[in-house]
Amino acid sequence: MPEAVENKPAENVKTVMQVKGLARYFDVSPPLLNRILERLPKQILKAVDGIDFEITKGETFSLVGESGCGKSTVARLIVGLYRPSAGSIEFEGRDISGLSRAEMAPMRRRLQMIFQDPYASLNPRWRVRDIVAEPLRAFGLETTSSGIERRVGELLSYVKLAAADGEKYPHEFSGGQRQRISIARALASKPDFLVCDEPTSALDVSVQAQILNLMKDLQREFGLTYLFISHNLAVVSHVSDRVGVMYLGRLVEVAPASTLFRAPRHPYTRMLLDTIPDLSMSGRDRMPVSGEVPNPITPPSGCTFHPRCPFANDRCKREIPLPIETPHGSRVTCHGVEEGRVPEGPVIPNR
């Protein structure tokens, strides 16, 4: 697995994004008539259930977790595709969670998103030059045809494509090239913050490395800040400065990437890391993966991870744990860690 990115210096750190108590609930109840006839209660899906994190300028903060844990919902909340049910999203000190469509319009230039499926996010009837030029026209960044043509050529060169590729349609490119087009379109508005929702999961492994290296180069060149969402821990280890681990809509651990991959504290984080093949043949003990993700509509009481946790006790079944700070700079939400029932120690040696 690639080396984790070292933490950035503490001096001159500026918080770009701060999320406080963020929640998003979806009403997934049957139609009203069915509920009346069958005497069924409302069913509320708590996709995101009160999470807190902050992202500093120029860093990559990653969210990881199993499918359905709420990672992509967080991404859509931040860029304004969903409105939060509770909590706040502050961008450079301004709460953008309650802004109207018109009020949010100036912020959209600075907040862009790279989607998981590059082909689905590109209009198949438009030429690439029109796809990349759309933000330029929408935000009035270029007004002349010659200016737009010149800028589109620059953007395509940033992502290692030729200006002549602008005459082609999306179907004429490979998956990795289409994702490069998506990145060029995201850069067109000169954003400060990019939300990357599983940008490499639909690509071959060799192409994934190319896209990740490209994103890291662009981050250094333009001073970008990333919220990176993935279920691939090898990818997260390669690109992240800090990592947040989600389970059933809640953050269970937030830590610097180097700390999390060397010495994870939450049992769920350990379980995720133990799914990575041990190529060094160290023979270390692994935590067996047990159980399945519970139904998010009717989650377990107390700590939602307790049915799968080997360290759970009666308190875990009754009380929702609160986040605690550890001496290593992690923030962990676990009764077992608080009481010392979860042993310390590295999971992945010799990193």
Please state, in angstroms and rounded to a whole number, the distance separating the CA atoms of residues 14 and 57: 6
Q: What is the pLDDT of residues 269-322, one digit of tens each?
A: 988 888 776 655 555 666 655 677 888 888 999 999 999 998 999 999 999 999
Give the pairing of strands 44-56 and 15-27.
antiparallel
pLDDT score at 325? 93
Q: Order of strands across the sheet with 193-197?
A: 111-114, 193-197, 225-229, 60-64, 242-247, 250-256, 331-332, 324-325
Q: Is the pLDDT of residue 10 over 70?
A: no
C-alpha 274/C-alpha 38 separation (Å) is 44
Is the whole-model pTM more than 0.75?
A: yes
Both tokens of 340, joined, read 């010392």
Q: Is the pLDDT of residue 100 over 50?
A: yes
Q: Which CATH class is domain 15-339?
A: alpha beta
pLDDT of 139 > 60? The answer is yes
Measure the N-to-C terminal CA separation of the chain; round to a whole number of Å: 9
What's the pLDDT at 348?
Answer: 44
DSSP string, 240-296: -SEEEEEETTEEEEEEEHHHHHHS--SHHHHHHHTTS--TT------PPP-S-PPPT
Which range has the worst mean pLDDT, 51-55, 65-69, 75-79? 65-69
Q: For residue 60, list its beta bridge partners.
A: 226
148-183 per-position pLDDT tens digit: 999 999 999 999 999 999 999 999 999 999 999 999
Question: What HEC string does 290-314 produce?
Answer: CCCCCCCCCCCCCCCCHHHCCCCCH
Q: What was the pLDDT predicted at 288?
A: 59
Point out the least confidently predicted range of 4-8, 125-129, 339-343: 4-8
Residue with tokens 């042993």: 343
Domain range annotation of the chain: 15-339
Predicted local confidence at residue 339, as pLDDT = 92
Confidence of residue 188 (pLDDT cuts 50, 70, 90): very high
Residue of 133, 123, 127, 120 whose CA lies nearest to 189: 133
> In this structure, what is the dihedral angle of CA atoms 138, 139, 142, 145, given to the nearest 10 degrees?
10
pLDDT-based confidence at residue 205 (cuts at 50, 70, 90): confident
Predicted local confidence at residue 345, as pLDDT: 57
pLDDT (0 to 100) of residue 12:
55
- Please indicate whether residue 281 or residue 71 has the higher confidence score (pLDDT): 71
User: In the prediction, which pLDDT does 206 show?
Assistant: 84
286 contact partners, CB below 8 Å, separation of at least 6: 274, 278
pLDDT digits (tens, 9 = 90+) for 206-257: 899 999 999 999 999 999 999 999 988 888 988 999 999 999 999 999 999 9
Q: How far is CA 232 from CA 1, 195, 273, 307, in A?
A: 11, 16, 10, 24
Q: Is the dihedral of CA 158, 163, 167, 168 positive or negative?
A: negative
In the chain, what is the greatest distance between 2 CA atoms, to the nearest angstrom? 69
